[in-house]
């Protein structure tokens, strides 16, 4: 029995990890539309992570040949830094993440990770080391403990708890009827959108990947929790020198990025830090205009919300 149960346990955890990875990507990338034509090249080698630098070189891509989503786009995402991708809805921000995962091949140009063309590396080695914190994560019908553990089935109880603390989830869990043993998911306790985002974050912290994607990862959180979590994420990323890419609508969540890439109509129109991008002349500057518009709304919202303007 012992001999049999060991490999079965192992297979079970492999299965769960794979299912989790697929589920996270599913919600982020709607896999049902992904073609299965992407396969390992015959000569493919495993990706060797160094610092985690990503380079797009003259990349053009469209889901349909007659409509380019990215048009000759080149940029470098520096290793160990926070990069944000911003731009109007539908401009191709999430598409960039999908291309790095190689869910699709580019029509022109090349994408390199640490100098290796992603077409020449094995898909498994590419995808296993990318952590994703999606907007909406799926929960399994299991305890909240196990839902966090999916990030890394080898983790100890102490590590799970530490990850939950960093994701501002520990206190919430302490208030649940059975604490970490509370069943969640469809057949258990339903978690709110913000709680699910914090589970996703705790998983990613536990997974500890060299490359992290945050796709509108804090959109369901209240401002206070969001700020607390963003501070935590900032600390973790800085401490571990992880490369991170944030896709965001609300510029207040990314203004501290080391590099902000601004996309519009399929092209990279601006890049720089927040203060560099704000220096654009007032009648130009896509980022500057987006920022001013959002700040205006923010001021209006806070007047409406608590009767006085936030400082």
**CB-nearer residue toward ligand ATP: 33 or 241:** 33
Nearest approach, Cβ of 10 to ligand ATP (angstroms)?
A: 35
Cα 23 to Cα 86, 99, 152, distances in angstroms: 25, 18, 15
Q: Which residues sit at the interface with ligand ATP, rule CB under 6 A?
A: 33, 63, 69, 89-95
Nearest approach, Cβ of 33 to ligand ATP (angstroms)?
A: 4
**CB-nearer residue toward ligand ATP: 10 or 63:** 63
- Could you give the CA distance from residue 215 to residue 136 in angstroms, rounded to a whole number? 9
**CB-nearer residue toward ligand ATP: 67 or 308:** 67
Could you tell me which residues come within 8 angstroms of residue 4 by beta carbon, excluding any fewer than 6 positions away? none
Per-residue buried b or exposed e for 267-282, using 16+ beta carbons within 10 Å of the residue's own CB:
ebbbbbebeebeeeee
C-alpha torsion sign, points 39, 44, 50, 51: negative
- Could you give the CA distance from residue 56 to residue 96 in angstroms, rounded to a whole number? 9
Nearest approach, Cβ of 267 to ligand ATP (angstroms)?
A: 13
Nearest approach, Cβ of 217 to ligand ATP (angstroms)?
A: 13
Cα 264 to Cα 59, 191, 305, distances in angstroms: 15, 36, 32
**CB-nearer residue toward ligand ATP: 180 or 291:** 291
**CB-nearer residue toward ligand ATP: 103 or 140:** 103
106, 279 contact by CB (below 8 A): no
Nearest approach, Cβ of 119 to ligand ATP (angstroms)?
A: 20
Nearest approach, Cβ of 201 to ligand ATP (angstroms)?
A: 19
**CB-nearer residue toward ligand ATP: 15 or 63:** 63
């Amino acid at each position: 029995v012992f001999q049999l149960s060991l490999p079965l346990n192992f297979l079970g955890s492999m299965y769960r990890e794979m299912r989790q990875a697929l589920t996270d990507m599913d919600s982020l990338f709607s896999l049902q539309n992904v073609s299965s034509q992407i396969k390992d090249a015959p000569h493919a080698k495993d990706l060797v992570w160094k610092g985690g630098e990503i380079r797009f070189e003259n990349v053009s891509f469209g889901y349909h040949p007659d409509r380019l989503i990215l048009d000759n786009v080149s940029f470098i995402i520096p290793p160990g830094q926070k990069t944000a991708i911003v731009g109007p809805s539908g401009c191709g921000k999430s598409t960039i993440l999908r291309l790095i995962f190689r869910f699709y091949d580019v029509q022109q140009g090349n994408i390199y990770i640490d100098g290796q063309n992603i077409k020449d590396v094995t898909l498994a080695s590419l995808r296993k080391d990318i952590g994703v914190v999606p907007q909406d994560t799926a929960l399994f019908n299991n305890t909240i403990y196990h839902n966090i553990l999916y990030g890394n089935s080898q983790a100890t109880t102490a590590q799970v708890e530490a990850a939950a603390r960093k994701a501002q989830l520990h206190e919430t869990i302490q208030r649940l009827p059975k604490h970490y043993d509370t069943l969640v998911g469809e057949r258990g306790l339903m978690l709110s959108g913000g709680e699910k985002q914090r589970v996703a974050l705790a998983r990613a912290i536990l997974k500890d990947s060299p490359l992290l994607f945050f796709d509108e990862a804090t959109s369901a959180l209240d401002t206070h929790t969001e700020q607390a979590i963003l501070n935590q994420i900032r600390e973790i990323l800085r401490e571990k020198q992880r490369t991170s890419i944030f896709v965001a609508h609300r510029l207040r969540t990314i203004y501290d990025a080391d590099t902000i890439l601004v996309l519009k109509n399929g092209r990279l129109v601006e890049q720089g830090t927040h203060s560099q991008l704000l220096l654009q002349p007032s009648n130009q500057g896509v980022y500057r205009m987006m920022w001013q518009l959002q700040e205006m709304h923010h001021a209006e919202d806070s007047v409406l919300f608590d009767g006085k303007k936030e400082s």
